Structures are given as structure tokens and as C-alpha cells.
A and B are shown apart, each in its own frame.
Chain A
Amino acid sequence: MRGMSLIVKTITNSIIGFIFIYGLYIILHGHLTPGGGFAGGVIIAGAFVLKILAFGSGASAEKRSTTVASIFESVGALLFIGVAMSGLLLAGTFFLNFLPKGVPLHLLSAGIIPLCNIAISIKVGAGLFSIFLALAAMKYIVED
């Protein structure tokens, strides 16, 4: 049997959703409460790490997740710099907070800050997950 014992697998299955939702909460409320894109991204990456540790994975699955993670990482980074560049292109200044500010203390407020949080969380989650895969799970990355 690959991975850990049945008890670990069952518990993992039942809590992994909660970890995910907690991470999403931290990301989306980054401009109102402590936390933010980085912490939430790491928590979501932690959910994937837990899944791999509990269930184990084959070499092909690891190769596939490395590819997916690296694409997600690039996409997150591009989103972040895209927010910055759209400030430059639409309003004339790099990193200008060009969106409407909204009602203070509400979820939909603070202009570009929640967008940046989401972009950072995608980038950081994917990046740290691929560091984990490279250092802990896989033997080597084989170039094709």
C-alpha cells in the first residue's frame, strides 16, 4: 500500500477541505485581517503537501505535478506584474492603485490589494509546493 496507514488517509481526506478553506479565507481577507497572500498560499501548498505525504505518489504523478506547479507559478507571477503593468498602461504609473477603493472594512475594498494577494498566493503556493516536490519527494528532475 502506497502512502501511510488507513487512519492517516481518512483523517487527511476529512481535514484537507478545511485547510483549503482556511487558506482561501486568509488570502481573501488579507487587506482586513492579519495574513495575506503569502501566508494563505503557503497554507494551501501545505494542503497539497499533506495529500502527497499521506497518499504517496508515483514518479509520473510527481513529474506531472511539477509541470503543473511551474506553470501555475509563472501564471501567478505574471498576474502580479500584470497588475503593476496595468497601473502603468491604464493610469500612467507603475503599481498605481487604480481601482476604486470601495467601502472601508468590507471584503470588496482596497483596490488592487486583494488582487495582488490572490496573485501572490497562486505564485507562492505553486512555488513552495514545487520546492517541496524537488527536495523531499522526487529523486531528481529528469530533463526531456
Chain B
Amino acid sequence: MIELYLFLIFMLIAAIIAIEIQDLLAAIISLGAVGFSVAIMFIFVHAPDLAIVQIVVEVLTVVIFVAVVLRTTHVDETIGKKLSGTQILSIVFYAFFVILFLTVMIRSLQELPAFGNATMKVAKEYIKLGLPQTGGANIVADVILDFRALDTLGEATVLFTSVIGVAALMRKVGRK
């Protein structure tokens, strides 16, 4: 699993670069690097469906980000300015929060099954019943379109909502 660790490190470095760099276009490319390394890690954990969807979604996300940045400005003027009072306050708050959150999180993550030993209580049933009862060979497709099809309807609705929302917010004038 050494390749997984390498990509995790790469992902974290790219994430820090994306947040701290001044050129917004470079930040978006680093965002793309994070997204694509997530896609590759999906392949390492045997999730080809996820990898395909993550790649296409990542391409689209980067295209949308770049479209917005090209229509506005690609220099982050706030980097290098002196920190304001509220900012310093929020960094201090955030530091306290991180310490608290990490201790609680690590303690509770230890109570979970270790990495690589999924419990699979319900999932066993899906694997057993998937092909005979729904007829689909891809168990993930069986789950999203038959066993849990309502989630997929909801997902399609979320996308529909955001398309209508984008269309509503890109009107030329709001009021008559």
C-alpha cells in the first residue's frame, strides 16, 4: 500500500500549495492535482466507478473554476497583506479547534475497524443478492439504481436544483 501513502502525501502538499499561492489559476491547478490524486487513490482501493466519476467531475470543476477566474481576476490581493484583527482571532480560534478536534477524532478513529477490514454487514447481502435479484453485474450500479435508487433520484434532483439555481442567478436583471 506504499503507493497510497505516496499519493496521500502528494495530495496534502498540493492542498497546502493551493491555499497559500497568490496566483488563483495556479491554485486551481493545484486543486485539480488534489482531485486527480483522489481519483487515483479510488483506483487503489478498488473503486473504478468512483475513479471514473471523480475524473469527469474534476475536469468539470476545474473548467468551471477557470471560467470564473478568467472572467474576473486571477490575482489574490489578500495574500501578503497585513493580517487584520478578526483574522488573527480566527486563526487562534482555529488552532484551538484543531487541537481539540484532532485529539477527539484520533481517539474515536481508534474505535473503528482498522483500515482494510471493512465490517460489511449489509453489504454482504448486496453482493449475494445483487446479480440474482436485480440482474446487474456491477454491484455498485445495482446499489445506486435499484436497492438505493431514491438516493440517485435525490442526486439527480440536486444537480437539477443547482442548474436551475445557476440559471436563476445568472439573469441579467433581478428586478423589473
Contacts and interface: CB of A to CB of B under 8 A. Distances in A.
B102 interface: no
B171 A131 contact: no
Interface stretch (B23-31, B93-101, B143-151): B143-151
Contacts of B60: 42, 46, 128, 132
A131 B162 contact: yes
Interface string B17-41: 0000000000000000000000000
A77 B166 contact: no
A131 B172 contact: no
B64 A135 contact: yes
B134 A97 contact: yes
Contacts of B162: 131
Interface stretch (B4-12, B49-57, B81-89, B114-122): B49-57
Contacts of A30: 138, 141
Interface residues of B, number: 42
Given A34-B52, A46-B60, A127-B163, 15 more contacts: A30-B141, A31-B135, A34-B49, A36-B144, A39-B49, A104-B131, A113-B145, A116-B145, A116-B149, A124-B156, A130-B163, A131-B162, A138-B170, A142-B171, A143-B172
Interface of B: 48-49, 51-53, 56-57, 59-60, 63-64, 67-68, 131, 133-138, 140-142, 144-146, 149-150, 152-153, 156-157, 159-160, 162-163, 166-167, 170-173
